Amino acid sequence: MQAASEETLKHPEHGDIPARRLLDCVFALTPKGRILHFHAEQCSIAKTGDAVRYELTGAEPNPERARCQVIPPFVTAFRRPGAR
C-alpha cells in the first residue's frame, strides 16, 4: 500500500507532526527526531483527498497491543514525496 502524500498527527505537545501508518500502528516524528508510536484505536482518523490526519483521542490501546513489535519506519519515510 502506498502512503498518502501527506499524513499528520495532531499531538497535544508537538502540534501537527509528520506521521505514517503501518498496519494498525501510527508512527509520528517529533521536531527533535524522536519517533512516537500509537495505535489506530487511539486516534480519530480523517481523510481528505490524498491527506490523512490522525488526532489522539486519549483512548488506551487494546490490551493485545502490549506485545506490539512493529518496527518503526526510517526517519526518511516521513519526508513528503518529492521533498529532498
Kindly indicate the confidence band of residue 80, based on its pLDDT and cuts at 50, 70 and 90: low
pLDDT for residue 67 is more than 50? yes
DSSP 21-63: EETTEEEEE-TTSPEEEEEGGGEEEEEETTEEEEEE--PPPPG
Grid coordinates of 19: 506521521
For 9-25, what is each residue's pLDDT tens digit? 999 999 999 999 999 99
- The pLDDT of 54-75, averaged and rounded, is 90
Sketch the domain layout of the chain as residue ranges. 1-45
Kindly indicate the confidence band of residue 74, based on its pLDDT and cuts at 50, 70 and 90: confident
The amino acid at 44? S
